[in-house]
Structure 1
């Protein structure tokens, strides 16, 4: 019996010693990861900045007053809110549960059509989590292992939404005269979806205020070919009425004249537009058509950020104005 009591006492003393040891260990952690996602820097920044979108890759709940709770397997829940922004370069979210310096930090760097991300997550584990996870390693090891699943989810999200695409040649089609209202814009391929959304909001407000009927989806009238991912264009919405606007008005009225176009569609993000133009040129050469350079290229937004935030669901039709290539004249005798 005495041996049993001594045995229990040893277990108790061991448990107390272990608890004291765990309690004296630092609960703080700082985890840093570097990874690459398949989207331009501007797109990635806008996505990470918007905490409402984080549910694609992490368990997050909106609490109000700009505060969100993120839950991470094995390490619990953290209330966060926006902290600071350096547009398209870096940003951070503050962790609110203590008075220590605790935050999530992101920095972004262009890598062609991809983005290199430096991710830092620093804070402290609560007592319960520290006790439960003690045998899994130190706080840095525990948090690093737990957050890795979420980082992988983020990488997969961008892989599915921005890397996958499909190009389809639709052939020659003729459009009829189309009234439109427009204004000039400049974008990069990285900011095009952002600018389209803002442009649509601005022009739609004007149309609604003046009861102007919209007859189809928006389109872009390129003022020149895409140069180093840079676009200059008119953002246009087709309308039913004829409008009389002055040069001082923000918007202009125009008519897209009836014309033969060669249609090629893109399902996916706009970074693949260059490949669409190349494929279109190959098809035109096969069919003995020339691009009519007296007319503008048209990018028709069949399905875009206006309709859904998921790029994999966007469908864009590139309309290339064409004329029949002149026949070769045989001058041999």
Structure 2
């Protein structure tokens, strides 16, 4: 028994010694990792810039059990914020600086361990060189945990490498997996909606839509309004020669809603019209191809576009329903004039058989 007691005391003293040693060490850390992502730089940047996408490639997040993410109305760009709760602790991250297609600076906090995170994106042979650079200071508990795992530098370096590898595989598959189907002529119904209208350059359309839709959804939740349909975008002006677009991001309502004049959103009526429906299943980067196929169908079928109507994109399934871009669903509606059916001339019989007591009817070519 004495031997067991001595062994226990020795183990206890060793643990105390290790703990004292670890806690007296500096908690500072700095780690960097780079990898080649086989996707164009703008696509990689946009994907990383939106926190809602991190669930698909962040290996450090996937290890957490029962993890729950909380997103505010802004999840991309400067000021974007995300927090999470899990069995292993809580954390949050916020974006403080963004240089488009070049770099991102963020601050993260997990169980009181704070860190600065820097992303850089550079064009290179075969795709985009992405570098993650993190530095910060550990709290006491994290220092002890990392000591028994071989040190925080090795742990973070391994997690960064796995995340970059998963980012590459995700983008490689998700960006290339898509389908486009021209559904045919349909009728868009009437109703009411709440909308926000902006003007921008063509290259900024996708980014602005991704920013405004979450804000509109948040507006509905904040004001206890019920959505009567999926968010959609109505294009009012799309001038390629002048590189100018005016669009309205809209969400249908069950009835007309009256909004204060000081608000940047307004209410509007949805006018019914005849249109050509086209469905894109996949990432928004294929939207231009979907529009091109739809317009080719119109030309091939001899249809005429109704330029007085509204050109619309309806976001049936988005990142809020499914994280994989290959499963997003977007419907495109191009206003067209109904194709007039040509009346066929009546077939005139070569002989009319009647009884002698009945008058002979006079054949009519167009009854």
- In 2, the alpha carbon distance for the partners of 1:288 and 1:110 equals 44
Residue 301 of structure 1 deviates from its aligned partner by 1.7
Q: Is the 8 A contact 2:93 2:109 kept in 1?
A: no
User: Could you list the per-position Cα deviations for residues 131-181 of structure 1 after superposition, in whole angstroms to 9, with x for gaps in the alignment?
Assistant: 9xxxxxxx88x9867753432112222333444221111111012322222
Q: Give 1:241's match in structure 2, choosing from 252, 255, 258.
A: 255
> Which SS does the other structure have where 1:290 is aligned?
coil
Q: Is the 8 A contact 2:276 2:336 kept in 1?
A: yes
Residue 32 of structure 1 corresponds to which residue in structure 2? 33
Q: Is the 8 A contact 2:56 2:323 kept in 1?
A: no
2:45 aligned with 1:44? no
2:101 aligned with 1:87? no
Q: Is the 8 A contact 2:228 2:254 kept in 1?
A: yes
2:210 aligned with 1:223? no
Q: Is the 8 A contact 1:91 1:107 kept in 2?
A: no
Residue 309 of structure 1 deviates from its aligned partner by 3.8
Q: Is the 8 A contact 2:317 2:328 kept in 1?
A: yes
Q: Give 1:307's match in structure 2, choosing from 286, 311, 321.
A: 321
Could you tell which deviates more after superposition, 310-319 or 160-169? 160-169
- In 1, the alpha carbon distance for the partners of 2:262 and 2:215 equals 21
Q: 1:201 to 1:53 in 2, by over 3 A?
A: farther
Residue 53 of structure 1 deviates from its aligned partner by 7.4
Residue 188 of structure 1 corresponds to which residue in structure 2? 205
Q: Is the 8 A contact 1:41 1:115 kept in 2?
A: no
Structure showing greater radius of gyration is 2
Residue 268 of structure 1 deviates from its aligned partner by 1.6
Residue 358 of structure 2 corresponds to which residue in structure 1? none
Q: Is the 8 A contact 1:57 1:154 kept in 2?
A: no
- In 1, the alpha carbon distance for the partners of 2:60 and 2:257 equals 43
> Which SS does the other structure have where 2:230 is aligned?
coil
- In 1, the alpha carbon distance for the partners of 2:45 and 2:91 equals 23
Q: 1:229 to 1:272 in 2, by over 3 A?
A: farther
Q: Is the 8 A contact 2:212 2:249 kept in 1?
A: no
> Which SS does the other structure have where 2:58 is aligned?
helix
- List aligned pairs for 1:144-183, cutoff 5 A: 147-183=160-196
Residue 289 of structure 1 deviates from its aligned partner by 0.9
Residue 3 of structure 1 corresponds to which residue in structure 2? none
Q: Is the 8 A contact 1:177 1:258 kept in 2?
A: yes
2:286 aligned with 1:284? no
- In 2, the alpha carbon distance for the partners of 1:240 and 1:84 equals 36
Q: 1:281 to 1:96 in 2, by over 3 A?
A: closer
Residue 49 of structure 1 deviates from its aligned partner by 9.3
Q: Give 2:286's match in structure 1, choosing from 260, 264, 272.
A: 272
Q: Is the 8 A contact 1:105 1:120 kept in 2?
A: yes
User: Could you list the per-position Cα deviations for residues 17-59 of structure 1 after superposition, in whole angstroms to 9, with x for gaps in the alignment?
Assistant: xxxxxxxxxxx88543142364352332223896897358753
Q: 1:156 to 1:127 in 2, by over 3 A?
A: same
Residue 320 of structure 1 deviates from its aligned partner by 0.4
Residue 321 of structure 1 deviates from its aligned partner by 0.4
- In 2, the alpha carbon distance for the partners of 1:226 and 1:43 equals 27
- In 2, the alpha carbon distance for the partners of 1:242 and 1:254 equals 8
> Which SS does the other structure have where 2:304 is aligned?
strand
Instruction: Give the aligned CA root-mean-square deviation in angstroms.
Output: 4.7
Residue 295 of structure 1 corresponds to which residue in structure 2? 309
- In 1, the alpha carbon distance for the partners of 2:115 and 2:213 equals 36
Q: 1:291 to 1:245 in 2, by over 3 A?
A: same
2:236 aligned with 1:232? no
Could you tell which deviates more after superposition, 142-151 or 165-174? 142-151
Q: Give 1:202's match in structure 2, choosing from 196, 216, 219.
A: 219
Q: 1:265 to 1:153 in 2, by over 3 A?
A: same
Matched residue count? 278
